[in-house]
Amino acid sequence: MVSKPQVRFTLGKQSSLAPDTVSCSDSDSDDGLEAIDPRVRLMFFSSEGDLEGIKKLLDSGTDVNFKDIDNRTALHVAACQGFTDVAELLLERGAEIDPQDKWGSTPLADAIHYKNHGVVKLLEKHGAKHLTAPMHVNNAREIPEYEIDAKELDFTNSVDITKGTFAIASWRGTQVAVKKLGDELFTDEEKVRAFRDELDLFQKIRHPNVVQFLGAVTQSSPMMIVIEYLPKGDLRAFLKRKGALKSITALKYAMDIARGMSYLHENKPEPIIHRDLEPSNILRDDSGHLKVADFGVSELLKGTHAAKHEKPMSHQDTTSGRYVAPEVFRNEDYDTKVDVFSFALILQEMIEGCQPFVTTNERDVPKLYAAKERPPFKAPSKSYAHGLKELIEECWHENPERRPPFRQIIVRLESIYNSIDRKKHWKVQRFRCFRMMGMCKGEDSDTSTNNRSSWI
């Protein structure tokens, strides 16, 4: 028996991995379909969404897993076209879930490429696997040095941390924090791009007051970013437990934050804007120091001499509207000074013991900032060391250009801290002096009545 020659099916959308993806018109009429190989007709009906035609062919014995010259199946075609009902029928009739065409593309990969979400969900429900990640490379030499084998990450006792953004895992005997880009997000190009951007930023960062990047999973699904795990949690949880902090503690924490942010803003050749600086994104390490974390909406300020970023950022992109600079709310150009504004609010919160405008609905807080209102200073004056209120007011100034850069903020914080430390040292010395005098007085009273009278 002579086998039928292989054919190439070229109607409709083609493989997502084909070198020259084309979308053929239906100019090839369906006249004389009865004379065409039934397997090709199966491909054609799948591209047209013709359920009845498909059923008749399958009932007559046509192979549901027929592959054309490019190794494409009817399920590939249905996935490309976005026909969920056709894909479901083919699967019910025994279609293989993960066949690969000559370029290595599966029906799921094609459905993701063409953003056919209904087909994606259906295929995933039937067990389809993501063979490659969006950042997958074909040449082993191109695999980045930071790549971590996903098999090394153990999520057996995993729990969500940091607002659910990260989860704890075990990696080479050490607990780490892992951020995943779930499979269901592969069809969202914006989220994939944000993941790439965050990964690019992490690779540029090395500082004691910025969370440490350990590696990433980019060659398999789901993609992941792996950073150091800080078990003491974030500043938000700490402030919730402790309330208002002593000035000396608040200053120590403020210097940690400022040093981390100064490092980001002084990054060469392009500054890094955090854009979401707030207590939940600041973590505490074992030594009690703070580290800036979560760069999900951070970005490089493009251009070596750039002073402004002209792409508006919605305040809804951030975690909390209570820390958003007014220029962001107004969709104006912004620069690194948006982080300085947020820093001022965090510093005040550490001393006041409550969030900015805590009794106001969070959605309305940015409107107050835009109207030039700022959270009131309610704590006793002694809670604010000399010069601290003035620094906070400068940092949240309405005009971004009037806000000091972090390198200046650090100098001023250190000066205020040293002033408090000197006073504390002087008080300790004075106490010791009085104590010594009291001890001497007691010794004299035991040895001589005359001496005792001299102290009276």
pLDDT, tens only, 268-310: 888 999 999 999 999 999 999 999 998 766 665 543 334 455 5
pLDDT in tens, 200-233: 888 889 999 999 999 999 888 788 999 999 989 9
Instruction: Transcribe 2-69 into DSSP letters.
Output: PPPPP----SEE--TT-TT--EE-TTS--TTGGGS-HHHHHHHHHHHT-HHHHHHHHHTT--TT---T
Residue 107: which pLDDT band, with cuts at 50, 70 and 90? very high
- Distance CA(378)–CA(356), nearest Å, equals 11
Higher pLDDT, 30 or 269: 269
CATH homologous superfamily, domain 235-414: Transferase(Phosphotransferase) domain 1 (1.10.510.10)
CA angle (412 as vertex; 345, 255 as ends), nearest 5: 60
> Which CATH class for the 12-23+35-125 domain?
mainly alpha
Of the listed 50, 276, 335, 339, which one is catalytic?
A: 276
Give residue 268's identity as a one-letter amino acid code. Answer: K
Rounded-to-integer distance, Cα 342 and Cα 258, Å = 11
Could you state, in order of their start, the residue ranges of all structural domains in the chain?
12-23+35-125, 140-228, 235-414, 426-455
Instruction: Answer yes or no: 70 catalytic.
Output: no
How many CB atoms lie under 10 A from the CB of residue 24?
A: 13
pLDDT surpassing 60 at residue 368: yes
pLDDT in tens, 395-416: 999 999 999 999 999 999 999 9
Q: What is the pLDDT of residue 367?
A: 94
First-to-last C-alpha distance (Å) of the chain: 128
Q: Whole-prediction pTM value?
A: 0.67
Q: Is residue 316 pLDDT above 70, yes or no?
A: no
Protein fold of 140-228: Phosphorylase Kinase; domain 1 (3.30.200)
